Amino acid sequence: MLATQDSTPHHLTPLRVQNLFVLLLFLVLLQGCSETPVRPDVVTQDPLSQAAHAMQTGDYGRAHNLYMQLAEEQGPPARWQYRFQAALALYQGGLLNQANQLLQDLPHAQLPRDMQMERQLLLAEIALKRDPDLALSLLLQPAVEESLLSGRPDLYAEYHHLRAQAFARLGNHLESAREYLQREMFLSDQASIEDNQLAIWQNLGMLTPQALRQMRYQPPPDALSGWMELAELARNYRLSPAELEALIQRWRQNYPGHPATAAFLDTLRQRSTVLSSRPNDIALLLPLSGRFAAPAQAIQDGVLAAWYADPQRHETRLRIIDVGDDPRHIHAHYQQAVSDGAGMVIGPLDKAAVESLAMQERLPVPTLALNLAAPPLNEQLFQFGLSPEDEAREAANRAWQAGYQRAAVMVPNTALGERMQQAFGDHWQALGGELLAHTSYDPGHNDFAQPIKSLLNIHDSELRYRRINLLSARRVEFTPRLRQDIDFLFLVAQPRQARLIRPQLRFHHAGDLPVLASSHLYAGRIDRDADRDLDGIQFNDMPWTLGADTLSSELRETSRAALNHHSGQLQRFVALGVDAYHLIPLLEMLKRHPHEYYSGETGMLSVDAYGQLSRQLHWAVFRRGSPQLMQEALGEGQDVRANPR
């Protein structure tokens, strides 16, 4: 199922822009009418005009100073309005703590009613950046009842929007959809309503088919139940336009007056038509012989599993071609596949072969490459791979959302380790975090004491100890003094190394240091005895290995026994094959709508303007030697988010 990703604005929202105009009008009313006309050049020198201009041009530091200056020159309520605008300038400039403090200092009870509401919303918006639970606690109820502020529907629309975002961040997509439904009551322009309905659709798209059925508590004509039933219909009949059309008509009869717009329903019909017109001749180009034979075989089996489960497989011809491991031959194999009638190509897998295809100005048929190269020069090439850099960037996002600011990194001294460290460090610093320490280790060793000591500055502590012993007449007891400025560790390690590194961190008195890791540390199968030492480590991985709900969960369960001979990392290539087949009818639509995604076995998949697919992964934590999805762990009443040190 497709859905539109919600995004938090990073610049002035329409609500904030409106506040600026309200403030300008407010100043005019304070000054009253003047018989002397105001010259335009004088107006441009007015501090309020300068502050508004600074906000509009992104000079938030200057805007803050000007608003604070104006606040000192005015008494209430103008003083509070200027200070609120100063806090907004701090927020827009990324100074969240300072903005939060300035808002907290405003005397809530003395503020005008609309400003009370605006203050609540901005406090919640700041909290949402780091802690959605705190944001919800700030939004338990509106600061001002609707009946007392009936002239500002935009404030109540923003109230429900923030609650919807907080619920979505916490994984409660049903409640998020419910909040968006409430938000729509306060929207008037058609574009905002359509965007809001796409946000409802996004959240319902995160629910499994079972959840869509089981959570539909209210009978027709309940609006939320209507959305859920429509989502189920669109999911089950997306490849059958005629059947979907008939069911939409029946749905309309069951839910008269439902808020879903005619334009939205037309979009569902159009998508069904596009999805049903997929190619019926598919060529799978894989290096089934040579050095990439094992992952290629896993991908092939994933594609075949999806093809066998496809109700329309009898209308789809699937041809498998062994292209070997010499990238120089890829063009000959590709042209032969097209000459034989292929309307779609999946492959190749080898990076050099993908780069060779990417250099072509034009490809004759849509092509889904199974690795990532440079942005392609043609519109027919899509690139889909299990990029480790995606995992590193997701770890940085996760840490930032948890409130961490200072990071340490530990990676193997390999090409993979270097790539992961670079991707994590670049993204972490772009978010605003500090990278205080990093170290690498030899993955062939069993003793990681030296890189751990280097990371934790234990060497300096030991050096001080030796100097004291030289100067002291008697032996001094020694406990290493660890650095206290690291909030968490980002770890890249295979299962064997991770099982050794974690106990050695404890040995060096860093057992309470929060650890976030990539998927490499999980072997893909539960081994409680071997993985008990990994307890508390959070890591990101794909739904296929974690057992998370997706649109193809049923296929995963029915085919697991037949695919179990692919062990460890190869299971992830099986998932790549499953998703590659399911993406065939979706690629063009995802490319045209880059904010939409497909809930696949390798993650939540979206396509950028260059045809490259990105993945959003799930997060799990080890408990008693077994990985648990973070939402499941939270459901046990345990807060799995480690607190910053």
Measure the CA angle with vertex 473, ends 472 and 474; round to 5°.
Answer: 90
**Matching residue, tokens 């993979």:** 416
Task: Report the pLDDT value the prediction gives residue 38, as an integer from 0 to 100.
Answer: 42
| Token pair recorded at residue 29 | 């009313």
How many Å apart are CA 498 and CA 536, to the nearest integer?
A: 12
Task: Report the pLDDT value the prediction gives residue 564, as an integer from 0 to 100.
Answer: 87
Task: Report the pLDDT value the prediction gives residue 589, as an integer from 0 to 100.
Answer: 81
How many Å apart are CA 105 and CA 365, to the nearest integer?
A: 62
**Among the listed residues 421, 576, 584, the one whose alpha carbon sits nearest the alpha carbon of residue 490:** 421
**% helix / strand / coil in the chain, to the nearest 5?**
55, 10, 35
Query: Where are the alpha helices (H) located in 93-141, listed in sequence order?
Result: 96-104, 113-128, 132-138
Could you give the 3-state DSSP secondary structure of residue 418? helix
Task: Report the pLDDT value the prediction gives residue 469, as an integer from 0 to 100.
Answer: 54
Burial 584-603 (b: 16+ CB within 10 A, else e): bbbbbbbbebeebbbbbbbb
Task: Report the pLDDT value the prediction gives residue 601, as an integer from 0 to 100.
Answer: 93
Sheet holding 2-4, edge to edge: 2-4, 596-599, 604-607, 613-616
Could you give the 3-state DSSP secondary structure of residue 236? helix
How many Å apart are CA 175 and CA 166, to the nearest integer?
A: 10
Neighbouring C-alpha atoms within 13 Å toward the C-beta of 445: 12
Q: What is the DSSP string of 241-273?
A: HHHHHHHHHHHHHHSTT-S--HHHHHHHHHHHH
How many Å apart are CA 238 and CA 13, to the nearest integer?
A: 35
Neighbouring C-alpha atoms within 13 Å toward the C-beta of 153: 8
| Token pair recorded at residue 127 | 């909290």
Task: Kindly list the domain boundaries of the chain, sorted by start residue.
Answer: 220-276, 389-542+620-635
Which H helix or E strand runs over 320? strand 317-322
Contact by Cβ (8 Å): 100, 126: yes
Q: Which amino acid is at 538?
A: Q
How many Å apart are CA 52 and CA 167, to the nearest integer?
A: 33
Task: Report the pLDDT value the prediction gives residue 478, as an integer from 0 to 100.
Answer: 45
Walk along the chain (645 residues) in steps of 10 and give the mean pLDDT of each run: 45 52 48 44 68 88 90 87 91 88 90 91 90 91 87 93 91 90 93 91 78 78 90 78 87 91 86 77 94 95 93 87 91 94 94 90 92 79 92 92 88 95 94 90 90 76 50 52 80 95 88 92 91 94 89 84 87 95 89 80 89 91 91 36 31
| Token pair recorded at residue 52 | 């508004």
How many Å apart are CA 192 and CA 200, to the nearest integer?
A: 12
**Among the listed residues 372, 399, 396, 395, the one whose alpha carbon sits nearest the alpha carbon of residue 383:** 372
Contact by Cβ (8 Å): 492, 420: yes
Whether this model's pTM surpasses 0.75: no
Task: Report the pLDDT value the prediction gives residue 567, as an integer from 0 to 100.
Answer: 84
How many Å apart are CA 390 and CA 392, to the nearest integer?
A: 6
Residues facing residue 129 across a β-bridge: none
**Among the listed residues 559, 566, 600, the one whose alpha carbon sits nearest the alpha carbon of residue 581:** 600
Q: Which amino acid is at 556?
A: R
* Residues contacting 412, CB < 8 A, separation 6+: 440, 441, 442, 443, 492, 493, 494, 497
Task: Report the pLDDT value the prediction gives residue 633, as an integer from 0 to 100.
Answer: 39
Q: Are strands 344-346 and 367-369 parallel, antiparallel or unpaired?
A: parallel
Task: Report the pLDDT value the prediction gives residue 634, as an integer from 0 to 100.
Answer: 34
Q: Which amino acid is at 543?
A: P
How many Å apart are CA 90 and CA 97, to the nearest integer?
A: 9
How many Å apart are CA 381 and CA 340, to the nearest integer?
A: 19
Contact by Cβ (8 Å): 148, 134: no
| Token pair recorded at residue 475 | 């032996």
Q: At what angle do helices 14-31 and 78-92 cross, to 10 degrees?
A: 150
**Matching residue, tokens 């109540």:** 156
Looking at the chain, how many residues does it have?
645
Instruction: Supply the Cα-derived Rg of the chain in whole angstroms.
Output: 28
Neighbouring C-alpha atoms within 13 Å toward the C-beta of 55: 28
- 612 secondary structure, DSSP code: B
How many Å apart are CA 31 and CA 34, to the nearest integer?
A: 8
147 by Cβ neighbours in 10 Å (0-12 / 13-18 / 19+) ranks as exposed
Measure the CA angle with vertex 527, ends 523 and 528; round to 5°.
Answer: 135
**Sign of the CA dihedral with 513 first, then 516, 518, and 523 last:** positive
Q: At what angle do helices 47-56 and 14-31 cross, to 10 degrees?
A: 170
Query: Is CATH 3.30.70.890 what the domain over 389-542+620-635 is classified as, yes or no?
Result: no
